[in-house]
Amino acid sequence: MTNSFEDYLNTDLFFVIGSNPTEAHPMAGAKIMSSVMSGKSKLIVADPRRIELAEKADIWLQLRPGTDIPLLNGLMHIIIKEGLHDQKFIEERTEGFEALKATVEKYTPARVSEMTGVPENLLYDAARLYATTAKAMLCYTLGITEHICGVDNVMSTANIAMLTGHLGKEGCGVNPQRGQNNVQGACDMGALPNVYSGYQAVVNPDIQAKFEKAWGVKLDNKLGLTIPDMMDAAVEGKLKAMFVLGEDPVLTDPDANHIKKALTKMDFVVAQEIFMSETAKYADVILPGASFAEKDGTFSSSERRVQRVRKAIEPIGDSRPDWWIICELAKRMGYDKMNYESPRQIWDEMASLSPIFAGINYDRIEHTGLQWPCPTVEHPGTPVLHTQSFSRGKGLFKAIEHTPPAEMPDEEYPYLLSTGRILYHYNITTRYSSALDAHRPEEAAMIHPADAATLGVCTGEKVRVTSRRGSVVTKVNVTDKVMSGMIWMSFHYKETPTNELTVNAFDPVSKTGEYKVAAVQLEKVV
Amino acid sequence: MPTVTLTIDGQQVTVPKGTTVLEAAWKAGSFVPTFCHDPELTKPGACRICVVEIKGARNLPASCVTAAAEGMIVETASPAVIDARKTILELMLDNHPEDCLTCHQAGDCKLQDYAYFYNVKPGAFGGECKNYEIEDDNLFIVRNMNKCILCGKCLRACEEKQGRAVIDFAYRGFRTKVATALDKPLADSVCVSCGTCVSVCPTGALTEKAMLGSARKWEVQKVRTTCPFCGVGCNFDLNVKGGKVIGVTSNAAAPANGRDLCVKGRFGTDYVHSPKRLTKPLIKKNGEFVESTWDEALDLVASKFGEIKTKFGSDSIAALSSARCTNEDNYVMQKFMRAVIGTNNVDHCART
Ligand code: SF4
Ligand code: SF4
Ligand code: SF4
Ligand code: FES
């Protein structure tokens, strides 16, 4: 996020696109809801589903799934045509405006309305409102990123924010709310194939030398494999072993059957988990980790805030903190530079090697945490990014054309499947909470009344959902919150493993799977 | 910033203009009780427990809605003030069940505290006492409206903090009650079970279902931590008794969320004690998982990784790190893969 959650209270307009915060990021959602309810701010929602925020919105743009780029280009077309763009910001802070202008020129309201299904008058209303509100904040999540054109979608949100000067200021910005509790932190710590902690490139020889010196070993300077590449390499027999820490790709990654094939093919799989996950079942060895309540450490939230996790109870049974287990393995493999006594020591080593975290330590984050970048111990942290300049100096507009989803409904698979989270569950762990699971024990796929009538099903009855990759059975919830021709499912239930259906197609840059669009058939199950 | 100076209980205090008499009194170190006042919510000035005496004023004004003014002379504990407060408490206690002995809130209840402080006992007026059925048919929150003192904080929090307004005052006079639309149970309303109402309730009217009967307030050890569920990063206090997490209470000092949480953070951490937790290392032998010691499991993994590395090279091994684990866990994981295995094959589900 460029801005902070606290800053949600300062904005006069939320533009929420591809995000369902009242379910997936409830406290962010609550801030938006209360601000809108009190009349403080206005709300534009772009979402194929009539999500809760859509019901409260001043303007709801019900776009067809996978048409975010045409929609944003169309809004920018209107903004430029009507001269509502921020000329000063564009001149001082950005480059590439002419190229952007030439591209969005082609996205006329008539054409965009045709592509997205959004009426022209709403396009005008939304473009004008966003451009003319001084403090306007754009929020998005996985509805933007989980497409084969996810990176282009993200760039488009940056384009429209820069075009209107809604960046680097209070109450503005482009704010992706991160899905999992520490997805920000896992990236920050270098659990990525291309960077060490603090986003330091593995291909940079100076960085490599710094880490070689600190860690006392020779390091590899070529990029590692991303998850989809790992799975492909495993299926091809090139990858022999995998160490899986606290993730359940069989349930949460797209095209589950491909993942299962990969796990079966490898010689040796280790799962470090707190529950017998679907993935752990494929392991040769399972190492029981401790839960967040049983260990010290830190998480980094969507707003880049590093906060303490504190040990409240002893590890359950014979489980152990994850860091301890990994360090113990290192020791047994003959490496002697991972003999930490506490997570604090680990943090300090990381911070000493990573400039953006250099000023953060456990003493400083005792009470409220700190938002990185925080280069020195005197630095107050950074609630708003890009106030003076962007990371690369000037913000670069990127002219972007529409990329349709990898797989669209056709005669054989006539329905469009889209997926996401629901309020009462978070990935997997919540299924083990007795109250949460009792409240929402099973999948309830959303389908439109017209489709339900065609299929002859009512709420509570079952359908079989089949894609080119797999087939699952689910109960349905008949509701006009989804458009006709669409089915919406969550991915929380191992009894209804939705990701057996999703497409094995990824954004070429981010390698994010296209969870939001797949073609399926539906038939009633009696 | 313009300021005003006033005298509270004989002590001069200077505060920014716009400060309430209540805040000024607290600043001066005087004790003033409150029920309906909450620093984060709008101020109805309804319960009147916070009355003070201000020289020259005709009656006793509610300090939480009275602005401090230059030269004011305020008494926070004059006989008239104490009298007024006692009367309010007597009226409340007369319409309140006398079951503090078994009430979950005992020890952390404003009504109990003030009754004790002012030595007020029930039975001063007599008369009718509320008799509502206890609502416990949802999984998360128990509502005992017999204990409600109608301070209205719950409904203001629901509307102002969660943006929902699920509950409001219903009926009139003695029958006034906090209720959902049509006075249906929470389970049948649009309530999202966030429990924000519970966190602001000054009495035992609203309680976390799972914590009922699990501990007296003073037995609970609170450990502030960060929510393990979504990327908002709410902070809260894990409530611990006897080495067990019994639930969650919110903590006003939490930076992203204050006292507000969602249903997952407030009511979902019981997964920690799920009987399905893995508690022993497991090694697959002939297709079945068999329990092992840590030494056996760790040595096996270390030797297998070593073997595969020697035979097929470092890049034949990969790791999925975790967006659910801590930063420290992730740092050691990528260091392990890079420094010990010798590959950059480390990634995580950054994308979900
Ligand atoms: S639990 Fe949340 S939504 Fe439900 S009544 Fe209380 S504050 Fe409102
Ligand atoms: S339920 Fe609690 S918070 Fe709500 S009005 Fe009654 S006493 Fe106040
Ligand atoms: S309490 Fe809810 S909104 Fe807050 S971090 Fe946890 S899951 Fe997210
Ligand atoms: S606390 Fe002041 S009127 Fe209730």
B-chain residues near A225 (CB < 8 A): 318, 345, 347
Q: Based on the domain organization, do A77 and A56 belong to the same domain?
A: yes
- Which of A219, A230, A439 minimises the CB distance to B139? A439
3-class DSSP assignment, residue A377: coil
Could you tell me which chain B residue has the CA closest to the CA of A37? B163
Q: Is the CB of B141 under 6 A from ligand 2?
A: no
Q: Based on the domain organization, do A56 and A75 belong to the same domain?
A: yes
Q: How confident is the model at residue A2, as a pLDDT?
A: 78
Tokens of B76: 């926070």
Q: Based on the domain organization, do A268 and A367 belong to the same domain?
A: yes
Instruction: Look up residue B268 and give its DSSP letter.
Output: -
Instruction: Look up residue B67 and give its DSSP letter.
Output: B
Report the number of distinct structural domains present in chain A: 3
Q: Based on the domain organization, do A173 and A187 belong to the same domain?
A: no
A-chain residues near B241 (CB < 8 A): none
Q: What angle do CA A72, A76, A79 make, to 5 degrees?
A: 140
The A residues from 312 to 351 touching B (CB cutoff 8 Å) are: 312-314, 316-323, 325-330, 332-333, 335, 337-338, 340, 343, 346-347, 349-350
C-alpha to C-alpha distance for B71 and B55, rounded to whole angstroms: 10
Provide the pLDDT confidence category of residue B159 given band limits of 50, 70 and 90.
very high
Q: How confident is the model at residue A371, as a pLDDT?
A: 92
Q: What is the 3-state secondary structure (H, E, C) of B302-330?
A: HHHHHHHHHHHCHHHEEEECCCCCCHHHH
Q: Based on the domain organization, do A477 and A334 belong to the same domain?
A: no
C-alpha to C-alpha distance for B137 and A399, rounded to whole angstroms: 55
Q: Based on the domain organization, do A448 and A497 belong to the same domain?
A: yes
Tokens of B101: 């002995």
Distance A80 CA to ligand 1 centre (A): 43
pLDDT, tens only, B57-76: 989 999 999 999 999 999 99
pLDDT, tens only, B282-317: 999 999 999 999 999 999 999 999 999 999 999 999
Q: Is the previous residue joined to A373 through a cis bond, with omega within 30 degrees of 0?
A: yes
Of the candidates A303, A400, A397, A405, the one whose C-alpha atom is nearest the C-alpha of residue A48 is A405
Q: Is the CB of B151 under 6 A from ligand 2?
A: yes
Residue whose entry in the numeric block shows the structure tokens 């399926």? A520
Q: In this model, does residue B351 exceed pLDDT 60?
A: no
**First-to-last C-alpha distance (Å) of chain B:** 47
Decide if B194 and A30 are in contact by the 8 Å CB cutoff: yes
Tokens of B29: 């170190």
The answer to whether the CB of A252 falls within 8 A of the CB of A428 is yes
A406 domain residue, yes or no: no
A385 domain residue, yes or no: no
A290 domain residue, yes or no: yes
The answer to whether the CB of B147 falls within 8 A of the CB of B212 is no
Domains of chain B: 3-92 (3.10.20.740), 135-273 (3.30.70.20), 282-347 (no CATH)
Of the candidates A180, A346, A181, A154, the one whose C-alpha atom is nearest the C-alpha of residue B236 is A181
Angle between helical axes of A120-132 and A109-116 (0-180°, round to 10) = 110
Decide if A299 and B326 are in contact by the 8 Å CB cutoff: yes
A381 domain residue, yes or no: no
3-class DSSP assignment, residue A15: strand
Q: Based on the domain organization, do A189 and A142 belong to the same domain?
A: no
Query: At a CB cut-off of 8 Å and minimum separation 6, what does B160 contact?
Result: A34, A38, B40, B41, B42
Q: Based on the domain organization, do A470 and A486 belong to the same domain?
A: yes
Q: Which residues of A364-400 are buried (b: 16+ CB within 10 A; e: fewer)?
A: bbeeebbbbbbeeeeeebbbbbbeeebeeeebbbbbb
CA distance A282 to chain B (A): 9
- Which of A190, A335, A427 minimises the CB distance to B340? A335
A204 domain residue, yes or no: yes
Q: Give the ipTM of the model, two decimals please.
A: 0.90
A-chain residues near B352 (CB < 8 A): 142, 146, 179-180, 183, 252, 427, 515
Q: Based on the domain organization, do A209 and A148 belong to the same domain?
A: no
CA distance B352 to chain A (A): 6
Q: A159, A177, A195 — which closes off a domain?
A: A177
Indicate which ligand has the atom closest to the C-alpha of B166. 1
Decide if A186 and B352 are in contact by the 8 Å CB cutoff: no
Provide the pLDDT confidence category of residue B350 given band limits of 50, 70 and 90.
low
Q: How confident is the model at residue A500, as a pLDDT?
A: 86
3-class DSSP assignment, residue A260: helix
The CATH number assigned to the domain holding A143 equals 3.40.228.10
A-chain residues near B308 (CB < 8 A): 240-241, 267-268
Q: How confident is the model at residue A22, as a pLDDT?
A: 87
Best residue among B191, B207, B208, B262 to mutate for probing ligand 1's pocket (most ligand atoms within 8 Å of CB) is B191
Distance B165 CA to ligand 1 centre (A): 8
Residue whose entry in the numeric block shows the structure tokens 């309303």? B189
Q: A177, A195, A210 — which closes off a domain?
A: A177
- Which of B226, B245, B332 minimises the CB distance to A299? B226
Decide if A329 and B340 are in contact by the 8 Å CB cutoff: yes
C-alpha to C-alpha distance for A294 and A321, rounded to whole angstroms: 7
The CATH number assigned to the domain holding A218 equals 3.40.50.740
B-chain residues near A289 (CB < 8 A): 278, 325
Of the candidates A423, A304, A419, the one whose C-alpha atom is nearest the C-alpha of residue A372 is A304
Classify residue B131 by burial, with Cβ atoms within 10 Å: 0-12, 13-18, 19+: exposed
Distance B206 CA to ligand 2 centre (A): 7
Q: How confident is the model at residue B137, as a pLDDT?
A: 87
A358 domain residue, yes or no: yes
Q: A162, A177, A192 — which closes off a domain?
A: A177
Q: Is the CB of B152 under 6 A from ligand 2?
A: yes
Q: Is A225 on the interface with B (CB under 8 A)?
A: yes
C-alpha to C-alpha distance for A324 and A341, rounded to whole angstroms: 9
Q: How confident is the model at residue A426, as a pLDDT?
A: 67
Q: Based on the domain organization, do A161 and A191 belong to the same domain?
A: no
C-alpha to C-alpha distance for A18 and B276, rounded to whole angstroms: 35
Of the candidates B122, B189, B149, B139, the one whose C-alpha atom is nearest the C-alpha of residue B34 is B149
Domain span at residue A443 reads: 415-525
Distance B109 CA to ligand 4 centre (A): 16
Decide if A312 and B319 are in contact by the 8 Å CB cutoff: no
Mean pLDDT by 10 residues, chain A (526 residues): 82 91 87 90 93 92 91 94 92 89 93 93 95 91 79 88 89 82 90 94 95 96 93 94 91 84 95 93 96 95 92 96 96 95 96 95 91 91 75 81 87 90 72 80 91 94 92 93 91 84 80 83 91
B-chain residues near A146 (CB < 8 A): 351-352
Q: Based on the domain organization, do A72 and A106 belong to the same domain?
A: yes
pLDDT, tens only, B113-130: 999 999 998 877 777 788
A399 domain residue, yes or no: no
A276 domain residue, yes or no: yes
Express the helix, strand and coil content of chain B in percent, nearest 5 each.
35, 20, 45
Residue whose entry in the numeric block shows the structure tokens 């509805």? A143
Q: How confident is the model at residue A428, as a pLDDT?
A: 63
Q: Based on the domain organization, do A105 and A196 belong to the same domain?
A: no
Q: How confident is the model at residue A386, as a pLDDT?
A: 73
Q: Is the CB of B232 under 6 A from ligand 3?
A: yes
